[in-house]
């Protein structure tokens, strides 16, 4: 079975970097987790997945759970 390494930001092609930049801006973070790095081997899959999850991931910062 073939395995792929993770696509790090500095090694990513421009189209993947653009999606990474959007992920970091939306999530208000300065890093990309391994899930995104793993699917970045297929830029179309990365974009499609990010586009479908973007609204949910972006809203996560505005949702606060009540604390007692």
Domains of the chain, residue spans:
9-58
Domain 9-58 has CATH 1.20.1290.10: yes
Q: Look at residue 48 in the predicted model and tell me its pLDDT.
A: 96
Tell me: the pLDDT tens digits for 39-59? 999 999 999 999 999 988 766
Give the rounded percent of residues in the chain with a pLDDT score beyond 90.
Answer: 69
- Radius of gyration over every alpha carbon of the chain, rounded to an integer in angstroms: 14
Of 31, 33, 40, which is closest to residue 11 (Cα–Cα)? Answer: 40
| pTM given for the model | 0.81
């Amino acid at each position: 079975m073939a395995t792929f390494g993770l696509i790090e930001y500095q090694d990513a092609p421009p189209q993947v970097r653009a999606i990474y930049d959007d992920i970091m801006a939306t999530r208000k973070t300065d890093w990309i987790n391994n899930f995104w790095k793993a699917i970045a081997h297929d830029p179309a899959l990365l974009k499609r997945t990010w586009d479908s999850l973007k609204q949910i991931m972006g809203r996560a910062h505005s949702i606060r759970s009540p604390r007692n």
